[in-house]
Homo-oligomer: A and B are copies of this chain.
Amino acid sequence: MANLKIPIILVNYKTYSEATGKKAVKLSKIAEDVSMETGVNVSVAPQLADIASVCDAVSIPVFAQHIDPIFPGSSTGHVLLESVKEAGAIGTLINHSERRLKLCDIEAIVARTRESNMISVVCTNNAAVSEAAAALQPDIVSLEPPELIGTGIPVSKSKPEVVTETVALVKHVNPDIVTLCGAGITKGDDVAAALKLGTMGVLVASGIVKAKDPRKVIMEFAEAINESLSDS
């Protein structure tokens, strides 16, 4: 994971209209602008069909939202690592709460990304699952309590003890694994709180994608990160 700067703001475009097709490219350019201006890593995870055009348009890190535990061959309708890599993605979300996977498939996908020098971000729903995910040796574990996703109630403020426990358990398994958190993150304050709890950034979706002014929100997040760094 030598090339991924942390802390990170990782923006999941989900299947939102506001981040589909040309709008995915436009939003990615905004993310890139803010990233260049602030020096903070703003990465994006567009839909599969948009990865290539986003990667053509920007130079910030681009992640897939999902890949399947398959090798090249007969897997119609599945997502091949080599395909998203050639399109320009440098990593992938795995096991997002809207795309939960079997344990053995998570292990197989993490192993695939490791061999292919892609960055693995395994999403988890609680501290116990985070520890289990860490045992698979991904690059990043991202805690997102599903009941908070899309609510605007920030995990970093409403469940700080779960974040702290997750950070500790993941670090205990392997101190090199980066922990992020997500769900309900909409303000710079929420990001600052996340860093204070020991995470190295946030996984965010509607808070940015569905914001009236996404640039303003990304900027607020990035500044919160820079302030946290200068405080510490």
**Which A residues have a C-beta under 8 Å from some C-beta of B?**
12, 14-17, 20-22, 45, 47-53, 65-66, 70, 72-80, 82-84, 86-87, 93, 95-107, 111, 124-126, 128-129, 131-137, 149-150, 173, 205-206
Contacts and interface: CB of A to CB of B under 8 A. Distances in A.
Contact of A132 (B22, B79, B135): B135
B137 A128 contact: yes
A83 to B, nearest CB: 5
Given A107-B126, A107-B132, A135-B132, A78 B100 contact: no
B49 A17 contact: no
B133 A103 contact: yes
Contacts of A103: 95, 100-103, 106, 124, 129, 132-133
A102 to B, nearest CB: 5
B93 A100 contact: no
A47 B136 contact: no
A8 B114 CA distance: 37
A52 B48 CA distance: 10
Contact of A136 (B128, B150, B173): B128
Contacts of A12: 76
A114 B16 CA distance: 21
A133 B132 contact: yes
Nearest to A81: B15
A115 to B, nearest CB: 13
A-B residue pairs, 4 tightest by C-beta = A66-B77, A77-B99, A21-B86, A48-B48
B133 A83 contact: no
7 contacts: A16-B74, A48-B48, A50-B52, A78-B99, A107-B128, A107-B129, A132-B136
Given A16-B72, A100-B104, A22 B86 contact: yes
